[in-house]
Amino acid sequence: MANHKSAKKRILVSEKKRIINKSASSKLKTLFAKAIEETSVVTAEVSYKAAVGYIDKLVDKGKLHKNTGARKKSALTRNFNKLSAVKA
């Protein structure tokens, strides 16, 4: 356990950040999965835009590395384009 006042504060701040980061990660996984499993082009487009927007937001905040964000957006785009090609 921490002995100094500043160390005790650091523990509290770290815990708050951990909870926020866990929440962001969980939301990203949910949006990603929802966008991947859509079968209708219209609903897939809405899910795709929501997921890509959230990925960009996390990258801008620094919660996600830019290459990780690009890789996830690329996977979503490939999936969406494949779905659009089949339905067209």
DSSP letter for each residue of 31-59 = HHHHHHH--SHHHHHHHHHHHHHHHHHHH
pLDDT of residue 7 exceeding 90: yes
What is the chain's mean pLDDT, rounded?
93
- What are the residue ranges spanned by the domains of the chain? 25-87
Q: Using the structure block, give the residue that is written with the tokens 């701040």.
A: 13
Counting DSSP H helices and E strands in the chain, the numbers are 3, 0
12-49 confidence digits (pLDDT tens): 999 999 999 999 999 999 999 999 998 888 999 999 99
Please give the pLDDT value at position 79: 93
pLDDT of residue 88 exceeding 90: no
pTM for the model stands at 0.85
Q: In Å, how far from its chain's centre is CA 87? A: 27
Provide the 10 A C-beta neighbour count for residue 73: 16
